[in-house]
Structure 1
Amino acid sequence: MSSKKSDGAMLSIDDLRQVTFSITRKCNLTCDWCFNDAGKRYEDVLDTETLVRILESISPYAEGITFTGGEPFLVRDIGDLIQKAIYLDFKEISITTNGVAIPRKYEPLLQHKRIALAISIDGDEPRHDSNRGAGTFARTKKRIEELVEAGINVALFMTVSKRNLDCVPALLDLANELGVIGVSFQRLRCIGRGRNFNEEALSNVELKTLASYIQSAQEKITKYFVNFKDPMRNLLNEEFVAVYKDLPQNYICGGCQAGISYLYITEEGIVQPCAFLNIPLGHMLKDDLVDIWEHSEVLNSLRNKNRYKVCNLCTYWHMCRGCRADAYNTTGDYMAGDPSCWTNR
């Protein structure tokens, strides 16, 4: 992993690596803790031509693009957008989906080696169906089997809460059974409809237990990748800490990537540091992406250790910095401490 100096000075646009683009808020499901409060009641805001323009504005800089929503496969011209992303030479093209209704006509296109589907599974069948609706687990599993058989890269994706924490081992077993390329985990963020489930968010002890279990799984499992999408994931990785602990504290080498190597764009074209951090930085149809990245006060604060509260005193700042979204959604201050941090309690 490369490191980058961040002493409060702006980072170059060359540091931008990954963009997640919500292309619709429309969805065929109404999952309990959807961060985007997606559902059937929404209509698409931007037409295909405008979505393509935004892709073209991103492509000179970001290596990876993720289409999310809502349910991306409800966008009428999703095939055209995927083909455009291939043409624009994004190195990685990911599509997050509930997997319930991926049209078969897209299977030849989805076989492209640079494309991967991230399909949400919330644990075992009862837990999954309690969140997404009766029968959705069976339908999603069947569709995954068909997609894998068709030679399409599929990874499983699980949002972990108190409701399904005990299902993590079962999901790893399911990944092995289905023959997918990997499985990723993230903690529940209490945003969107997730605000109604604050009591289900992981405690700091539960988050550490989860991180430790996933770290152990990563060391043992070689058949498919196991990923924990959490800024605190490196703190239990003794090898990582040993390699990077002596770097100057103003060198970033991991942790929360909001404004460090990552941006999020809403279905309206609004630029945010992260999907879970609803702070507008600009608009893709009105503002220059380079100017947003290099001169945003919010982004440059995220890169400056001296602006942090609590985390600025931590020896792990350069490899963690906590979840800025959880800090903001809990306290209203994106520079506050991560409420789920297990090192400052």
Structure 2
Amino acid sequence: MSVNLGKIWVPGFRNLEVLKDPHCEAYKRVFSHITDLALAQVFSEENLSAVVSDGASKHGLLRKGNLLQIMRGSPHPRDVAPQARKAVAAVALAVTHSPEQAAQLLDRAGIVTDLTRATQSITALQNQLRRQSQGLVNAYLHVTYACNLQCNHCYASSNPHRTETMPVENVARLVRNAARAGFGKAVITGGEPMAHPQRDTLLDALAALRPTIKPMQIVLRTNLAYSLTPAFIEKIAQSVDQIVVSIDGNQASHDARRGSGTYARTVTNLEGLRDLPGLSLTAVLNASQIIGAEGNAVRALGEELGIGVRFKPVLPMGRAATQSLAPEFYSSLDEDSSEIVAHRLRVASTCGLGMNLYIAPDGECFPCYALMGARHTLGKARADGLDAVLGAERFQSFKRVTVDSNAQCQKCVLRYLCGGFCRAWGHDDDPDAPPRDCTALHQRARELLVSALETLNVSVEQWRAAGLPVPDAPPTML
């Protein structure tokens, strides 16, 4: 339905044009029709079954039905469907290794309307997956390992007593080199970047660089648990394009990890930054926390501030290496299939190895923050130059590590919905070694496939009848 100049046009009602007059009979008929459709969907067997099986939810009785989906503020089916089609195409491609055969199977499942166009689209998807690891995404510059906090999950084991620092002139040179190399973002991180002993000089240098390195963006990752003045806020705003702030749940969980009083200080500072473009929150929580009070507190704060929120798992690295952790991914009953497809579905052939670069304060380069040890060094950017590091066979070899090269992953038909496992969970110096246990990843990928099918109104039975699988478990571990 669209509104223009006080008039309403409704799809499905040919030549229907009425004024926005609540007393107009035609207007009443339109909205009576919409009301009848909504009520029919509310009392449909599919919707009521979902209400009973899922239990309490923020969506109440608005669970299953395209109109109910719009009424509750979920992504519009028209916007979600292309991503869902991409997901099922990726699975069909993983099964057949052939765009032509994949299109034929999707045609049998009732998903394809034009076989030629579908084959062309799947061929483009295959090329995208093959080329994906050839790009460059983020250059992470650890400008210092000093930090005003001492969090119990920090992969860098930062604290106020660490002294490793990257000179400002080196930061500036590496940012310029990263832009020239084609990275999408230069991420200024640590430690706490604002604990750098030349903090103001660093921000001034970034402000001077910022307009000269486009389209690359400068991102500041910070705990924001320090004193802010209006002048300092303005300096930060001039220096970076995005600010990613760590906020790990509610006050209790955040302070337990980061120290008493840090939550209140960070939230107060967020209020001062709320009008800056590019502000977002990142929460590192386990799966139960993400769907529990801690995750809900982060979502509520993001909604209050009008900024985005991203959740990341706690990884067994740094201070968290001794914690009892296992790979896990959250699943929320409050999310329907369209929300899962819109917010959590990403078709990928790689976890990001060979696409990112992690640079320590002394200029030592590593392929990943999960692979930041002496045996994984790529060389020193300060001595060898960033171009030499990126062009070396050692770095290029990581680009060849994908779900198609891994002996375990290549057997899985859900591999492109997974993208591969984080090497923090690895148990071998070989980055292409099979994962120890990918059960959680497989469950998540399966959920994405089922959600994509639901979005497209294709049943699991219909999908399987076409010769396409919905596996309940990963392939036998090597």
TM-score, normalised to structure 1, is: 0.77
Of 257, 260, 267 in structure 1, the residue corresponding to residue 361 of structure 2 is 267
- Compare CA radii of gyration and give the structure with the larger one: 2
Alignment of 1:48 with 2:168, yes or no, is yes
For 1:149-298, list aligned pairs within 5 A: 149=275, 151-161=276-286, 164-165=289-290, 166=292, 167-180=294-307, 182-197=308-323, 199=324, 201-204=325-328, 207=329, 209-210=330-331, 216=336, 219=339, 233-234=344-345, 253=348, 255-259=350-354, 261-278=355-372, 279-297=376-394
Q: Is the 8 A contact 2:282 2:310 kept in 1?
A: yes
State the Cα distance separating 1:288 from its structure 2 match. Answer: 3.9
Structure 1 302/122 Cα, relative in aligned 2: closer, same or farther at 3 Å? Answer: same
Identity, % of aligned pairs? Answer: 22
Of 92, 101, 107 in structure 1, the residue corresponding to residue 226 of structure 2 is 101
For 1:32-43, list aligned pairs within 5 A: 32-43=152-163
Alignment of 1:3 with 2:98, yes or no, is no
Worse-superposed segment, 157-166 or 46-55:
157-166
Residue number in structure 2 paired with 1:320: 418
Residue number in structure 2 paired with 1:249: none
State the Cα distance separating 1:117 from its structure 2 match. Answer: 1.0
Residue number in structure 2 paired with 1:73: 194
Structure 1 257/301 Cα, relative in aligned 2: closer, same or farther at 3 Å? Answer: closer
State the Cα distance separating 1:185 from its structure 2 match. Answer: 1.2
Counterpart secondary structure, 1:59? helix
Of 300, 307, 327 in structure 1, the residue corresponding to residue 397 of structure 2 is 300
State the Cα distance separating 1:269 from its structure 2 match. Answer: 1.1
Counterpart secondary structure, 2:282? strand
Mapped partners of 1:21, 1:293: distance in 2: 15
Q: Is the 8 A contact 2:327 2:425 kept in 1?
A: no
State the Cα distance separating 1:307 from its structure 2 match. Answer: 4.4
Q: Is the 8 A contact 1:309 1:337 kept in 2?
A: no
State the Cα distance separating 1:35 from its structure 2 match. Answer: 0.7
Write out per-residue CA displacement over residues 194-229 of structure 1, whole angstroms, 9 at most, x where no aligned residue. 1122x1x3544xx1x34x679759839xxxxx97xx
Mapped partners of 2:204, 2:300: distance in 1: 35
Structure 1 153/340 Cα, relative in aligned 2: closer, same or farther at 3 Å? Answer: same
Q: Is the 8 A contact 1:27 1:70 kept in 2?
A: yes
State the Cα distance separating 1:21 from its structure 2 match. Answer: 1.1
Write out per-residue CA displacement over residues 19-50 of structure 1, whole angstroms, 9 at most, x where no aligned residue. 11111100000000101100111114332122
Alignment of 1:118 with 2:244, yes or no, is yes
Alignment of 1:127 with 2:221, yes or no, is no
Mapped partners of 1:307, 1:74: distance in 2: 41
Q: Structure 2 unaligned runs (5+)? A: 1-124, 443-473
State the Cα distance separating 1:290 from its structure 2 match. Answer: 3.5
Counterpart secondary structure, 2:154? coil
Mapped partners of 1:24, 1:175: distance in 2: 28
State the Cα distance separating 1:309 from its structure 2 match. Answer: 3.5
Mapped partners of 1:188, 1:66: distance in 2: 20
Counterpart secondary structure, 1:36? coil
Write out per-residue CA displacement over residues 75-129 of structure 1, whole angstroms, 9 at most, x where no aligned residue. 2233124214404324322111101115433322333596121111110111111
Structure 1 87/43 Cα, relative in aligned 2: closer, same or farther at 3 Å? Answer: farther
Alpha-carbon RMSD across the aligned residues, in angstroms, is 3.2
State the Cα distance separating 1:331 from its structure 2 match. Answer: 4.2
Structure 1 98/272 Cα, relative in aligned 2: closer, same or farther at 3 Å? Answer: same
Residue number in structure 1 paired with 2:150: 30
Q: Is the 8 A contact 1:64 1:93 kept in 2?
A: yes
Structure 1 213/337 Cα, relative in aligned 2: closer, same or farther at 3 Å? Answer: farther
Residue number in structure 2 paired with 1:20: 140
Residue number in structure 2 paired with 1:230: none
Structure 1 84/340 Cα, relative in aligned 2: closer, same or farther at 3 Å? Answer: farther
Which of the pair has the greater relative contact order for Cα pairs under 8 Å at 6+ separation?
Answer: 1
Q: Structure 1 unaligned runs (5+)? A: 221-225, 228-232, 235-239, 242-252
Of 270, 284, 287 in structure 2, the residue corresponding to residue 144 of structure 1 is 270
Write out per-residue CA displacement over residues 112-161 of structure 1, whole angstroms, 9 at most, x where no aligned residue. 59612111111011111100001111111111011115x35321111122
Mapped partners of 2:208, 2:334: distance in 1: 35
Structure 1 92/317 Cα, relative in aligned 2: closer, same or farther at 3 Å? Answer: same
Counterpart AA for 2:363: G
Q: Is the 8 A contact 1:322 1:338 kept in 2?
A: no
Structure 1 202/156 Cα, relative in aligned 2: closer, same or farther at 3 Å? Answer: farther
Structure 1 215/109 Cα, relative in aligned 2: closer, same or farther at 3 Å? Answer: farther
TM-score, normalised to structure 2, is: 0.57
Counterpart AA for 1:72: P
Counterpart AA for 1:277: L
Q: Which has the higher strand share?
A: 1
Mapped partners of 1:319, 1:281: distance in 2: 29
Counterpart secondary structure, 1:293? helix
Mapped partners of 1:218, 1:72: distance in 2: 38
